[in-house]
Chain A
């Protein structure tokens, strides 16, 4: 069974204090690993797709990396507007229909 575990459940940072969020996964043939950002009362907003170990993607203060067992979302010099829940999801090559399996998310709070 495909599984995704995110840690920590919640993270509080001071503005400018860099850190990383973790997404550990087990999947039968990884077709893609996805990172999303979700603001309260809104739907998830797509950030990155990673397809193979060693791949990295960057967007502003965010950088996502991938190994064969986990992915990290690095946040450099965060600002209060980076506060949100960050979700990780995997898609298996052996499942019909491009389904995603989601982790429970990491709630990030950045204080000024």
Chain B
């Protein structure tokens, strides 16, 4: 079945450490997105990519980095510059056609050790 796979499901970060969250999709979608979800808040956009080798900052990009070397993959690195990384991270994808819904993976929960 087609879908979006995020790994790991749970991740722990030590002080000063960079960690990378994986997102893979087999839906043949051009566009991919990373969101952060905190309790009581809506999803906030971190980075997005409409095509391979191109990506744009979202609303809360500081302390994060991404790459888009393959259509299927859009990994997110949470750097040590992100001072409050504890959150639920969600990856999504859709086609580039206007008005198409985004489809989500099941998330990675990141916590500080």
Task: Taking A31-B99, A36-B104, A97-B48 as given, write out 7 further A-B residue pairs in contact, using a Cβ cutoff of 8 Å, ordered by the A residue number.
Answer: A32-B98, A43-B92, A44-B104, A45-B104, A89-B43, A97-B50, A98-B31
How distant is the Cα of A51 from the Cα of B100 in the complex, in angstroms? 10
A91 at the interface (CB under 8 A from B): yes
Interface residues in chain A, defined as those with a beta carbon under 8 Å from any beta carbon in chain B: 4, 9, 31-32, 34, 36, 41-46, 49, 51, 87, 89, 91, 93, 96-105
B residues near A98, Cβ cutoff 8 Å: 31, 50, 94, 96, 98-100, 102
Q: Would A96 and B56 be within 8 Å (CB), given that A34-B101, A51-B99 are in contact?
A: yes
B residues near A102, Cβ cutoff 8 Å: 42-44
Contact indicator B42/A43 (Cβ below 8 Å): no
Size range of the interface on B?
A: 20 to 34
B residues near A9, Cβ cutoff 8 Å: 40
B43 shortest CB reach to chain A, Å: 4
B69 at the interface (CB under 8 A from A): no
B86 shortest CB reach to chain A, Å: 15
How distant is the Cα of A27 from the Cα of B75 in the complex, in angstroms? 30
Contact indicator B106/A87 (Cβ below 8 Å): no
16 example contacts (A-B, Cβ-Cβ < 8 A) are as follows A4-B42, A32-B99, A34-B101, A42-B106, A44-B43, A49-B99, A87-B43, A89-B43, A96-B56, A98-B99, A99-B33, A100-B45, A102-B42, A103-B42, A104-B41, A105-B42
A10 shortest CB reach to chain B, Å: 10
How distant is the Cα of A47 from the Cα of B9 in the complex, in angstroms? 24
Q: Which residue of A lies closest to B30 (CB)?
A: A98
How distant is the Cα of A70 from the Cα of B112 in the complex, in angstroms? 39
B residues near A31, Cβ cutoff 8 Å: 98-99
B76 at the interface (CB under 8 A from A): no
Q: Which residue of A lies closest to B101 (CB)?
A: A46
Q: Would A49 and B106 be within 8 Å (CB), given that A97-B50, A97-B56 are in contact?
A: no
